[in-house]
Amino acid sequence: MNATERALVLKVGRFREADVWVKLLTPTRGIFNAFAFGGSRSRRRFVGCLDPLSHVLFTIGSSKRGDYTILEEGSLLHNFPLLRKDSVKTGIAVNCIKFIEAVEIEPSESGSAYTLLLETMTMLEKGGGSTGFVPWLFRAKLAFDMGYNPDFLVCGNCGEVVGTASGYQFGIEKGQAACPTCLSSGKPLEGLARPITAGALRALDWIQQSRPADWATVAMDQEVRRQCSQLVELFVAYHLGLSWDNGMYKKV
């Protein structure tokens, strides 16, 4: 049976003379491959739809025996021309896509990944976003959306709201902050922990509440940015089992 679904085109390749395979992300199926037979010749069924970084409404079916997925036709919703023309922005989008692929997202979690990627591409297309922020903000936000969602504004021990004092730490494994009072009274965090300033904890809370549109012009104190980005990488490595190494995400 055919279904109509919105999809982001992640990768495209040709096989045989006129046929195309497409790697897609949709809100209900996650990432999967589908075939567009005759796709590279069809002027009518796939106008502008079979390019990476396109947002398309596809009619999706399956082969007679049900062993692979077929794209019947598509209507282009947006092809992000400015994002595609700018190699730096394309690189940011590809980095985000590689992360979603590496996470091996379940269909039940694909709605938030799809929305996050679409909003990120829309923000890049409108002219915002930088390499210094968007990739790690995207990783943080996807991890939070997947349910690894710490409360950065209270001490996980005593429940005290984070103030302005120095001497906070953040425990990666349980995803909780510890206040200087609890730490000095000998209640250390279990497992991997990092010292963190109250300002960085507030910035992490901002990231948690933010949407990609808010990342267009984000600015952070250099030290806050360093602490937040390092903590996000440790958090992602521990909870999602991934780290960025030499242009690829690796299972750790």
List residues binding Zn ion (CB under 5 A): 155, 157-158, 160, 179, 182
The CB-of-179 to Zn ion minimum distance in angstroms stands at 3
Nearer to Zn ion, 176 or 229 (CB): 176
Expressed in angstroms, the distance from the first to the final Cα of the chain is 40
Packed helices 110-125 and 134-145: angle between N→C axes, nearest 10 degrees: 160
Could you give the CA distance from residue 245 to residue 207 in angstroms, rounded to a whole number? 23
Nearer to Zn ion, 106 or 160 (CB): 160
- CA gyration radius, the chain: 21
Could you give the CA distance from residue 53 to residue 171 in angstroms, rounded to a whole number? 37
Nearer to Zn ion, 20 or 179 (CB): 179
The CB-of-169 to Zn ion minimum distance in angstroms stands at 10
Give the residues across from 250 on adjacent strands. 243
212 CB burial (10 A radius; 0-12, 13-18, 19+): buried
Cβ–Cβ under 8 Å, residues 228 and 141? no
One-letter amino acid at 227 equals: Q
Residues 154, 155, 157, CA angle at the centre, nearest 5°? Answer: 140
The CB-of-206 to Zn ion minimum distance in angstroms stands at 22
The CB-of-170 to Zn ion minimum distance in angstroms stands at 12
Nearer to Zn ion, 129 or 175 (CB): 175
Nearer to Zn ion, 158 or 248 (CB): 158
The CB-of-181 to Zn ion minimum distance in angstroms stands at 5
